[in-house]
């Protein structure tokens, strides 16, 4: 589901948030400023059926709202060491416990709602495989 112009993974690093309240977003903004990370961008409900590429590069809005109660932090163009650092640091604070994921060359073309469904299924499968580790 590529757009007319394929932007891929070219652009400044950023974090995308899904299903964060205003207060949670403010907490995240303070945390990111403290660790000098790129600012977070909210994925809006009317972007839920668009591809990640359309959300990240074109900031498009869709006609239909997506509803999902899960929280997500999506890393875009952030190196693996940066991702590990941000996850480790956020776990040491009173921040929400989201699903973490990174945008890949493949997933950039996925509709956001399909990515969320896939991530939720993966998390549930992982929990069933090792329930004692994920309380």
- For the whole prediction, is pTM greater than 0.85? yes
Residues spanned by the domain of 113: 14-133
51 DSSP 8-state letter:
B
Domain-located, residue 100:
yes
Is residue 112 within 8 Å of 56, Cβ to Cβ? no
Does 7 map to a domain?
no
6 assigned to some structural domain: no
CA distance linking residue 40 with residue 16, whole number of Å: 6
Q: With respect to residue 79, please indicate whether it lies within any of the assigned structural domains.
A: yes
The CATH number that applies at residue 43 is 3.30.429
Task: Let me know if residue 5 belongs to a domain.
Answer: no
Separation of alpha carbons 31 and 52, rounded Å: 24
Q: Quick one: DSSP state of residue 75?
A: E
Cα 12 to Cα 39: distance, rounded to the nearest angstrom: 11
Other C-beta atoms closer than 10 Å to the C-beta of 122 total: 12
Report if residue 51 sits inside a domain.
Answer: yes
Tokens 């991702």 belong to: 83
How many Å apart are CA 131 and CA 135, to the nearest integer? 7
Residue 1 lies in a domain: no
pLDDT in tens, the chain (135 residues): 444 456 677 889 999 999 999 999 999 999 999 999 878 999 999 999 999 999 999 999 999 999 999 999 999 999 999 999 999 999 999 888 999 999 999 999 999 999 999 999 999 988 888 766 554
Assess if residue 110 is contained within a domain: yes
> Based on the structure, what is the number of domains in the chain?
1
């Amino acid at each position: 589901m590529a757009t007319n112009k394929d932007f891929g993974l070219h652009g400044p690093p950023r974090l995308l948030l899904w299903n964060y309240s205003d207060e949670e977003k403010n907490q995240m903004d303070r945390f990111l400023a403290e660790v000098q990370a790129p600012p977070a961008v909210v994925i809006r409900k009317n972007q839920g059926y668009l591809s990640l590429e359309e959300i990240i590069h074109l900031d498009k809005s869709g006609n239909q709202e997506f509803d999902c109660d899960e929280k997500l932090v999506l890393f875009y163009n952030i190196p693996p060491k940066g991702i590990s650092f941000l996850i480790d640091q956020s776990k040491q604070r009173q921040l929400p416990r989201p699903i973490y994921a990174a945008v890949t060359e493949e997933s950039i073309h996925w509709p956001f709602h399909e990515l969320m469904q896939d991530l939720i299924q993966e998390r549930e499968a992982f929990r069933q495989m090792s329930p004692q580790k994920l309380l």
